[in-house]
Amino acid sequence: ARRSFIRGTGGYLPEKVLTNDDISAMVDTSDEWIQERTGIKRRHVAAEGELTSDIATAAARSALEAAGIPVSEVDLIVLATTTPDQTFPATATAVQAKLGMTGGAAFDVQAVCSGFLFALATADSMLRQGLFNTALVIGAETFTRILDWSDRGTCVLFGDGGGAAVLQAEDWTGDELAGVITHHIRTDGTKSDLLYVDGGVSSTGTIGHVRMEGNRVFRHAVTNISSAIQAIYDETGLTGNDIDWFVPHQANKRILDGVAKKMNIAEEKVIVTVQEHANTSAASIPLALNHAVRSGRAKPGDLILSEAMGGGFSWGASLFRL
Ligand code: ACO
């Protein structure tokens, strides 16, 4: 049967860094409060004129280079983003043009912080179906552009960045637990009032800003993420002991530690990058995955469990072998 395999990963963070102290000069907060409640030390901010598609393209180029696959082989781009360049066309088509691709298909997926896992599930399904052969799965955001910089409850939490993975289909007759193995993605539209943007094309005609009841989101996050991971444990018969690396969405160190503990994943298997770039929404999982690979921790053959939760609510978990 056809199966997809991750051939390479890449990441990109804008040059400009905003520290907790920098934000403390803007709103009533402190480095101590932010680190203690979230684990965040700094975040990157896109330069003026630097677009989500620029960030996505840089991440994609780095993933292609790592994979040793020329762009001419890519026939699918699935880009997860909440902060597109324009209302339309899809930002993925801007990436397609910037990469010099003239064939294949490119489109965006919107599941906020869970976006990368939704994009991965989408691309994996299409590759397995035989619709395409080589996919770029990207998560990229200029999230700082939808922040209310006077709201200390949200502006300290997010940053800009992008990450990518190259997926390639192969006819596979070997072990079931190879390549991209399984996904559980879920949403619950009744909880949208706890985390949303108060604007949009058809509602206000404005872009709007992020609004969140952080405390209530926090409580739902651990429960929802754990249920998605449990679904993967149930489906595969695996447990936390079998996982080599846990690559969670990087929103808050307390959430990812809470999930790891609940799901019996040892602390030393948890990849944590939130201190470096805060919550980059759809970009955080591929950025963390890329860090795990390039730091030499995650190696070919390692079994990786990933999870995310975001606005919608949307949440999910994925299991794959490098
Ligand atoms: N600096 C200082 N004080 C602050 C700040 C800040 N940046 N933000 C809020 N506070 C204050 C509040 O006003 C409140 O003060 P009060 O008691 O006088 O009213 C106090 O801190 C406690 O506020 P809580 O919201 O109860 O604090 P909590 O411990 O829940 O931490 C936080 C807040 C960090 C936002 C936490 O709830 C959280 O991380 N939630 C998850 C949100 C998240 O990660 N969302 C991202 C998208 S979804 C996802 O990716 C999982």
Structure tokens at 186: 């879920």
Complex ipTM over 0.90: yes
Going 206 to 210 to 211 to 216, the CA torsion angle's sign is positive
The C-alpha atoms of residue 291 and residue 274 are separated, in whole angstroms, by 11
Residue that has been written with the tokens 């991971």 in this structure: 229
CA 214–ligand 1 middle distance (angstroms): 5
Residue 180 phi, psi dihedral angles, 5° rounding: -80, 120
One-letter identity of residue 268: E
What integer is the mean pLDDT of 164-172? 98
Q: Is 113 a catalytic residue?
A: yes
Please indicate whether residue 211, judged by its CB atom, sits closer than 6 Å to ligand 1.
Answer: no
Structure tokens at 166: 């190259």
Give per-residue pLDDT as tens, 204-256.
999 999 999 999 999 999 999 999 999 999 999 999 999 999 999 999 999 99
Under 8 Å CB-to-CB from 18, ≥6 apart: which residues? 42, 43, 44, 45, 159
Q: Is 249 a catalytic residue?
A: yes
Q: Is 155 a catalytic residue?
A: no
What pLDDT is attached to residue 163?
A: 98
Residue to mutate, 31, 215, 216, ligand 1, most ligand atoms under 8 Å from C-beta = 215
The H-assigned helical ranges of the chain are 20-24, 31-38, 52-67, 91-99, 115-129, 152-155, 214-236, 253-262, 274-277, 284-294
Active-site residue identified among 209, 279, 290, 291: 279
Cβ-count burial 99-108 (b if 16+ within 10 Å, e if not)? bebeebbbbb
**Beta carbons within 10 angstroms of residue 232's beta carbon:** 22
Q: Which atom of ligand 1 is nearest to the CA of 23?
A: 7
What pLDDT is attached to residue 297?
A: 98
- Structural domains in the chain, sorted by start: 2-171 (3.40.47.10), 180-321 (3.40.47.10)
What pLDDT is attached to residue 151?
A: 98
CA 171–ligand 1 middle distance (angstroms): 48
What pLDDT is attached to residue 49?
A: 98
Q: 284: closest CA among 141, 135, 156, 154?
A: 141
The C-alpha atoms of residue 120 and residue 139 are separated, in whole angstroms, by 10
The C-alpha atoms of residue 239 and residue 302 are separated, in whole angstroms, by 15
Residue to mutate, 24, 37, 281, ligand 1, most ligand atoms under 8 Å from C-beta = 37
Please indicate whether residue 312, judged by its CB atom, sits closer than 6 Å to ligand 1.
Answer: no
Taking the CA atoms of residue 124, residue 122, residue 255 and residue 303 in that order, the dihedral angle to the nearest 10 degrees is 0
Give per-residue pLDDT as tens, 78-98.
999 999 999 999 999 999 999
Active-site residue identified among 113, 184, 209, 291: 113
Residue that has been written with the tokens 């404005």 in this structure: 206
Closest-CA residue, ligand 1 atom 24, reads 215
The C-alpha atoms of residue 116 and residue 164 are separated, in whole angstroms, by 9
The C-alpha atoms of residue 125 and residue 3 are separated, in whole angstroms, by 9
Going 248 to 251 to 257 to 258, the CA torsion angle's sign is negative
pLDDT band at 201 (very low <50, low <70, confident <90, very high): very high
